[in-house]
Amino acid sequence: MNRRTFARTLGVAGASLLPLHHRRAVGEEHRKEFVGVLVDTTRCVGCRSCEFACAETHGFPEPNQDERVLDRERTPSVTQWSIVNRYSTAGGDVFAKKQCMHCNQPACASACLTKAMLKTEEGPVIWREGKCMGCRFCMVSCPFDIPKFEYDSPIPKIQKCTLCWDRLERGKIPACAEACPAEAITFGKRADLIKEAYRRISSQPDQYHQHVYGEHEAGGTGYLYLSAVPFEQLGFPQGIESTAYPELSKDYLYAVPIVLTLWPAFLLALSNATKKENEPTDHEMHHE
């Protein structure tokens, strides 16, 4: 093998991975301000209007009306992007709506190799049917276990809340926020929502637990929560720190271009070093 063929083979591989040099965690740099939703669980009355509105807007079957569905903790499902749970806490029964958190730097989108999961510039994390190959790596990676997969379908989709992306594009607000009779769900610019959350906490400090869930969790999320009780009691997953999830595999991804450039050079040098004095060159080696 000569230097040219080697360079060529290397080039092919290198070219495919070059974008890594410019790679930046999804959403780290955005031109527009993200939108988000503030859920104030102290206001939620558990009427599940948001659940019904969600199903209706997105064409899913109407959720079970029976109140007893609240008896056990539910998760979003392939036919319910958003659900309401009842938690019995130190401060009595509390209702909390659960759905995709629309992370600032979503694990799901950075996991997705086809960019089917996409953090839009506006903030909502959406899923695009034409791109997804159904590997379910987004499900493995999402710290909130949000994306759901249609295991029963030969043409399965990933189902999860899109923050009503299609409605936003038409200038409307998310269906759940519109439907809530108790004003527990506020849609707006994320930065404004954080301010509003702190305003509520400071104006009624004894009503609120002093924390805005989602301001820093998992690197910050589009959905923000207020509560009267600590958030562990509202079924939020344990162990979620403030580092954004894509950071966890960043070191590895940064090492890739380095290995890709240094390793071949090192191996080639090593191979030359072990070449014996009288050994034929590579060209003569092959049966000549």
Partner 1 sequence: MNNRNGSLALLAGESRRFARFLLSELKPKGKLLTPFNVIAACILCVAAVLLTIRFSQGLSSTTNLSQDFPWGIWIGFDVITGVAFAGGAYVVTFMVYVLRLEQYRPIVRITVLNGFLAYLFYAGALLFDLGRPWNVINPIIGNSFGVSSVMFLVAWHFLLYMITEFIEFSPAVAEWLGWKRVRKALASLTLGAVILGITLSTLHQSGLGALFLMAKTKIHPLWYSEFIPILFFVSSIFAGLSMVILEGSVSQRVFRSQITPHHRASHRGIVLGLARVCAGTMYVYFFLRVLVFIHGQQWTYIATPMGYWYLVEMVVFVLIPVRLYTQAVRFENIPLIRVASVLTLIGIVLNRLNVSVIAFKWYAPEHYIPSWMEIEITMAIIVAELIVLRWVVNRMPILRSLPERPVDGAAHAIESLKEQPQWTTST
Q: Which residues bind ligand SF4 (CB under 6 A)?
A: 100-103, 106-108, 111-112, 114, 116-117, 125, 127, 132-138, 142, 144, 146-147, 158, 160
Beta bridge mates, 186: 38
SS3 letters for 60-87?
Answer: CCCCCCCHHHHHCCCCCECCECCEEEEE
| Pick 206 or 288: Cβ nearer partner 1 | 288
Interface pick for partner 1 out of 111, 193, 194, 197 (rule CB under 8 A): 111
| Pick 136 or 211: Cβ nearer ligand SF4 | 136
Those residues whose C-beta lies under 8 Å from the C-beta of residue 106, and which sit 6 or more positions away, are 26, 27, 117, 119, 125, 142, 245, 246
Burial of 16 (0-12, 13-18, 19+ CB in 10 A): exposed
Which residue in this structure is represented by tokens 């206001």?
43
Residues 15-34 that bind partner 1 (CB under 8 A): 16-17, 19-20, 23-26
- How far apart (Å, rounded) are the C-alpha atoms in residues 227 and 208? 6
Interface pick for partner 1 out of 45, 134, 183, 195 (rule CB under 8 A): 134
Q: Does 121 bind partner 1 (CB under 8 A)?
A: no
CB of 35 to partner 1, least distance (A): 22
The site partner of 50 among partner 1, ligand SF4, none (C-beta below 5 to 8 Å per kind) is none
- How far apart (Å, rounded) are the C-alpha atoms in residues 238 and 144? 10
Interface pick for partner 1 out of 62, 67, 121, 131 (rule CB under 8 A): 131
The site partner of 182 among partner 1, ligand SF4, none (C-beta below 5 to 8 Å per kind) is none
The binding track of 149-178 with respect to partner 1, each residue x by CB under 8 A or -, is xxxxxxxx----------------------
Interface pick for partner 1 out of 32, 140, 191, 254 (rule CB under 8 A): 140
- How far apart (Å, rounded) are the C-alpha atoms in residues 114 and 130? 10
Those residues whose C-beta lies under 8 Å from the C-beta of residue 273, and which sit 6 or more positions away, are none
